[in-house]
Amino acid sequence: MEIQPLSGTLGAEIRGVDLSRELSNSETADIYGAFLTHKVLYFRGPELSPPQQLRISRVFGEPDVYPFIKGLDEVPEVIEILKTEKDEVNFGGTWHSDTAYMPEPALGTVLHAVEVPDTGGDTQFANMVAAYDALSDGMKAMLEGLRGVNDSDALYGGSRAAAMAKLDGMAKNNIEQAQGYVSEHPVVRTHPQTGEKGLYLSRAHTRRFAGMTEDESRPLIEFLADHALRPEFTCRVHREPGAVTVWDNRVTRHLALNDYQGQRRRMRRVTLKGDRPA
């Protein structure tokens, strides 16, 4: 097995591993160690069946059921993310950390590429630990104890479920009656295994700070969101059929690029059960 970094700050491609077969204990340990170190892992390989993807997901955590999209009948923890030729808006097309609005947000995400456009459709990632480390001591002191109010409907001017129902590729599996979620979490989150501190907020989900109005909160949210996207904190993952990408939602943010209008992009996703941020 070879671990090839994707950038100077986060991301690594794991080579010499076939995810369609059972992994040895040593392979599993090495891959999980790379996950904690690099925060984003990329594997090339053959297309996986949904049960195979679920098995691989268990290397990183416990698979969970996503609340807004119906899972596959045979494997409900696996959801399909599809942008058709008719869709102009894509799923996940703003910088965010998955399910930050839930009381126990997702630990990580395992995304498997089934169909990809001829060009485009990549995903960008940002290292929130590096972004936090680069802040001044004064800013770090100000953020200590600050909590963000994260809302699943923050971007949608109403219901997230209703907005997704308008997407051609997602409508058939959309759970229209899914409830919205609002949760408070620390703006500076400590990783439970590595002890690293990272920013934990985004324009997509953080509506305001606890005890403050949206107008009062917005300037600092905007500054921190922009700061975290400095090029030196990011990497870009190319999509190709059969590829699997795994990322740690506790210390990263990501953006699914919407640069392939008129083409299809079909992914299968597993969300990993997380814990309450601290």
Active site residues: 96, 98, 254, 269
Beta carbons within 10 angstroms of residue 89's beta carbon: 12
The Cβ-side half-sphere exposure at 218, using a 13 Å CA radius, reads 4
Query: Could you please report the per-residue DSSP string of 155-201?
Result: TTTS-HHHHHTTSTTTGGGB-TTPPP-EEEEESEEE-TTT--EEE--
Q: Which two tokens stand for residue 117?
A: 């456009």
CB 107 within 8 A of CB 61: yes
Closest listed residue to residue 174, CA positions, set 240, 239, 79: 79
Q: Rounded to an integer, what distance in angstroms lies between the CA atom of residue 198 and that of residue 25? A: 30
CB 205 within 8 A of CB 97: yes
Q: How far apart are the first and last CA of the chain?
A: 34
Interior angle at CA 81, CA 78 and CA 83, nearest 5: 165
Beta carbons within 10 angstroms of residue 215's beta carbon: 8
